[in-house]
Amino acid sequence: MMITIRPATMADRKQLLGLVLAQDNFTEEEQEVAREVIEDSLFKRDDYQILTAVEKNGALLGFVCYGIIPMTEKSFDLYWIATAPEHGRRGIASQLLSAMETELNKSAGAVVYVDTSSTDGYERARSFYEKNGYQVAARFSNFYKTGDDRVIYRKEL
């Protein structure tokens, strides 16, 4: 499958929001936060960056959203990475992650952090980060709710 990785544009807004709603492991609260971050990025209200994976026909297959952590020089948060469910497990997320890391490598010594949940619905996400060289940096028990820990991954670029 030939895809292009490029920055998101305002024309991608509807497809980006649709991808968020299509994720079966995002709670309603997570969907709302993702929508806010996408809107902020597209309207340039914050320092969020979004890269998209787009098919030749213009269909948006996935996105990664990241940004500098306020008050840091070279520390970045990976906020969201998602692919269209029907295109999952085809390497699109890996390509998006690689494109983000390439972009961040321009800032020598950059470090990427990813927060995720310890619940079963996020097992694939945790496995994905580990396969891509991210290591658990911290775990906060019962952070989101009882039985749902906050797991923070870290990777030096």
User: Which range has the worst mean pLDDT, 23-32, 78-87, 90-99?
Assistant: 23-32
Q: Mean pLDDT for the chain?
A: 91
For 68-77, letters b (16+ CB in 10 Å) and e give beeeeeebbb
User: Which range has the worst mean pLDDT, 40-44, 135-139, 153-157?
Assistant: 40-44
Q: By the 8 A CB rule, do 104 and 110 touch?
A: yes
Domains within the chain, CATH numbers bracketed:
3-156 (3.40.630.30)
Average pLDDT value for residue range 86-114: 90
Check residue 97 and give its pLDDT.
Answer: 97
- Please say if the pLDDT value at position 151 is more than 70: yes
Residue 9 structure tokens: 């544009």
Using left for φ > 0, alpha for ψ between -120 and 50, and beta otherwise, residue 133 falls in: left
Strand partners, 136: 153
Helix axes 28-42, 13-22, angle to 10 degrees: 160
Chain CA centroid to CA 61, Å: 13
- pTM score, whole prediction: 0.88
Question: Tens digits of per-residue pLDDT, 14-61?
Answer: 889 888 888 877 888 888 888 888 888 888 767 789 999 999 988 999
The residue among 50, 70, 154, 151 whose CA lies nearest residue 112 is 154
